[in-house]
């Protein structure tokens, strides 16, 4: 079979801990306990305690990252850890800054899998605990901290890849972005069913994104999205758009690793192509931790035993991260709007979505309007943060019939109100690949019913891109 170029993403965070904690651990169980506690009509309710109420919440929602050796700057395993930070914990949970999760839960929007989100009752419980001066309760009776598997969580990988050389991360200074090529170069086509990454310097690895690139292509750190530059260059001339419009070609993304992620196999027999003579390019975002570190992690690949039944394809709106739409954001502009619409030419099953933009983007939204006029929200990120580039998977795959319209809106804030604005004072920002430039798109991860439908889908995207580019060129001339 003709395997498509690699597309959509792959591993995503699990509900923090479900497996490790069993019954006590999941956020939902905790929430029920919390609701019962808060709803109690007893005239005098004893304040919540760490042992009975707070520890289970922290274990289920925080310690996947807040424990020694993980990404977060401090542990929340013990009563003392939690007490020392009590007030801050109450603040960050009330603001929903922690646990980090950027997809909004809103009426009309699809429910997402593995949501990292505290229930209102849990937040209220933490608040009440802090207000009562953080009583420990009977610590001897507190639930045991969760244990985590050692080694690869998904079992023995088919291929383990090492960095060509360790990366030195200085104690201080700007964040580093490194595009590292991990040599694979297999003589035959394979398909990836899962990817896992084990960093060695967990406190500095902010995220890792994975891409498949032809083995003969050299990717440098200057590529803000590996593969995009090549695709843009090759997109010129006669084949313009033909390559670019293929959203996956402009992304090549296999997904990523972020702190707290639980590796997963793709659902539903999905596997992502790893064509022969290709390598994995890993983009590491490294954040100095205050002391010198060396990152020398390992990447694990799991291959399908049989050719994949289906692969995820990205429907990127606008295509090529908005290259053809163009962006020109005046300094001081607080709500610069990028909009694009794409009609699906075939039926698809949608599994999830992700966004990409740089630092000026504030909000992004993708909404589907079905041929019968009903709408389904697919993804709404109200506080975009470049540092947490998650992919979001739907609780259940969503059938979107041919003719469904995908509407995307991305709002950019190029004023001093935007704390993430890389320039003070703000400057004019246009489309570009450097992190001070902007780009933006949302990508819906779908499977098409047949290879033929897959081709139709990609050709429609290419056509959409060509029309966009032609309009932009006309605007520039006229």
* Residue ranges in contact with ligand HEC by CB under 6 A: 16, 61-62, 64-66, 71-73, 85, 88-89, 92-93, 98-100, 116, 118, 259-260
CB of 458 to ligand HEC, least distance (A): 34
Of 387 and 463, nearer to ligand HEC (C-beta) is 387
CB of 287 to ligand HEC, least distance (A): 8
Of 103 and 161, nearer to ligand HEC (C-beta) is 103
Evaluate whether 312 touches 446 at the Cβ level (below 8 Å): yes
CA neighbours within 13 Å on the CB side: how many for 151? Answer: 4
Of 142 and 324, nearer to ligand HEC (C-beta) is 142
- For 237, other C-beta atoms within 10 Å of its C-beta total 7
How far apart, in whole angstroms, are the C-alpha atoms of residue 56 and residue 48?
12
How far apart, in whole angstroms, are the C-alpha atoms of residue 286 and residue 207?
7
CB of 21 to ligand HEC, least distance (A): 13
CB of 353 to ligand HEC, least distance (A): 19
CB of 65 to ligand HEC, least distance (A): 3
Q: What is the DSSP string of 227-264?
A: THHHHHHHTSGGGTTTTTTSTTTTT-EEEEE-TT----
CA angle 334, 337, 343 (to 5 degrees): 165
CB of 379 to ligand HEC, least distance (A): 19
CB of 421 to ligand HEC, least distance (A): 18
CB of 220 to ligand HEC, least distance (A): 28
Of 115 and 437, nearer to ligand HEC (C-beta) is 115
Greatest C-alpha distance within the chain: 78
Q: What is the DSSP string of 446-469?
A: EE-SSHHHHHHHHHHHHHHHHHHH
**Which token pair is 346?**
């075939």
Task: Specify the DSSP element, H or E, that contains 179.
Answer: strand 176-182
Evaluate whether 8 touches 313 at the Cβ level (below 8 Å): yes
All residues at 6 or more sequence positions from 310 whose CB lies less than 8 Å from its CB, including other chains: 268, 269, 270, 447, 448
Q: Residue 65: what are its φ and ψ, rounded to 5°?
A: -110, -35
Of 89 and 282, nearer to ligand HEC (C-beta) is 89
Of 16 and 346, nearer to ligand HEC (C-beta) is 16
**Which token pair is 184?**
């694979």
CB of 216 to ligand HEC, least distance (A): 37
CB of 115 to ligand HEC, least distance (A): 11
How far apart, in whole angstroms, are the C-alpha atoms of residue 356 and residue 391?
10
Across the strands, what pairs with 207? 285
* Sheet bearing 440-447, strands edge to edge: 313-317, 440-447, 348-357, 391-400
Q: What is the DSSP string of 396-433?
A: EEEEE-TT-EEEEEEEE--STT-TT-SSSS---EEB-S
Distances (CA, A) of 131 to 44, 103, 118, 128, 377: 16, 29, 19, 5, 38
CB of 283 to ligand HEC, least distance (A): 18
Of 96 and 402, nearer to ligand HEC (C-beta) is 96
CB of 101 to ligand HEC, least distance (A): 8
**Which value, in Å, is the radius of gyration of the alpha carbons in the chain?**
23
Using CA atoms of 34, 36, 38, 39 in order, give the dihedral in degrees to the nearest 10.
160
């Amino acid at each position: 079979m003709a395997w498509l170029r690699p597309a959509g993403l792959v591993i995503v965070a699990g509900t923090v801990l479900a497996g490790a904690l069993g019954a006590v651990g999941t956020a939902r169980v905790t929430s029920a306990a919390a609701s019962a506690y808060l709803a109690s009509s007893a005239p005098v309710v004893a304040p919540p305690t760490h042992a009975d109420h707070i520890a289970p919440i922290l274990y289920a929602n925080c310690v996947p990252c807040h424990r020694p050796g993980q990404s977060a700057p401090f542990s929340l395993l013990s009563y003392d850890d939690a007490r020392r930070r009590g007030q801050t914990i109450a603040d960050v949970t009330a603001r929903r800054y922690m646990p980090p999760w950027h997809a909004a839960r809103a009426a009309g929007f699809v429910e997402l899998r593995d949501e990292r989100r505290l229930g209102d009752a849990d937040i209220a419980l933490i608040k009440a605990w802090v207000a009562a001066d953080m009583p420990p309760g009977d610590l001897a009776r507190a639930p045991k901290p969760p244990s985590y598997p050692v080694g690869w969580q998904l079992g023995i990988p088919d291929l383990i890849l090492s960095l060509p050389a360790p990366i030195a991360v200085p104690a201080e200074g700007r964040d580093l972005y490194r595009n590292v090529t991990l040599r694979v170069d297999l003589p035959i086509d394979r398909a990836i069913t899962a990817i896992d990454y084990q960093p060695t310097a967990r406190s500095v690895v902010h995220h890792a994104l994975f891409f498949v690139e032809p083995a003969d292509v050299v990717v440098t750190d200057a590529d803000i999205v590996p593969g995009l530059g090549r695709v843009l260059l090759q997109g010129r001339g006669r084949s313009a758009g033909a390559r670019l419009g293929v959203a996956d070609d402009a992304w090549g993304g296999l997904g990523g690793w972020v702190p707290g992620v639980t590796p997963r196999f793709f659902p539903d027999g999905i596997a992502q192509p790893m064509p022969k003579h290709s390598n994995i390019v890993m983009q590491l975002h490294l954040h100095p931790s205050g002391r010198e570190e060396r990152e020398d992690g390992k990447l694990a690949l799991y291959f399908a035993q049989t050719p994949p039944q289906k692969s995820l394809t990205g429907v990127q709106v606008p295509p090529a991260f908005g290259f053809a739409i163009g962006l020109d954001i005046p300094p001081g502009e607080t709500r610069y709007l990028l909009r694009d619409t794409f009609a699906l030419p075939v039926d698809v099953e949608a599994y999830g979505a992700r966004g990409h933009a740089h630092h000026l983007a504030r909000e992004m939204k993708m909404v589907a309007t079905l041929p019968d006029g009903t709408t389904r929200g697919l993804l709404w990120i109200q506080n975009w943060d470049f540092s947490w580039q998650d992919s979001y998977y739907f609780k259940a795959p969503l059938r979107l019939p041919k003719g469904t319209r995908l509407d995307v809106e991305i709002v950019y804030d190029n004023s001093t109100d935007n704390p993430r604005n890389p320039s003070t004072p703000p400057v004019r920002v246009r489309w570009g690949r450097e992190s001070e430039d902007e780009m933006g798109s949302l990508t819906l991860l779908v499977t098409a019913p047949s290879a033929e439908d897959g081709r139709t889908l990609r050709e429609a995207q290419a056509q959409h891109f060509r029309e966009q580019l032609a309009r932009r060129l006309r605007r520039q001339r006229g």
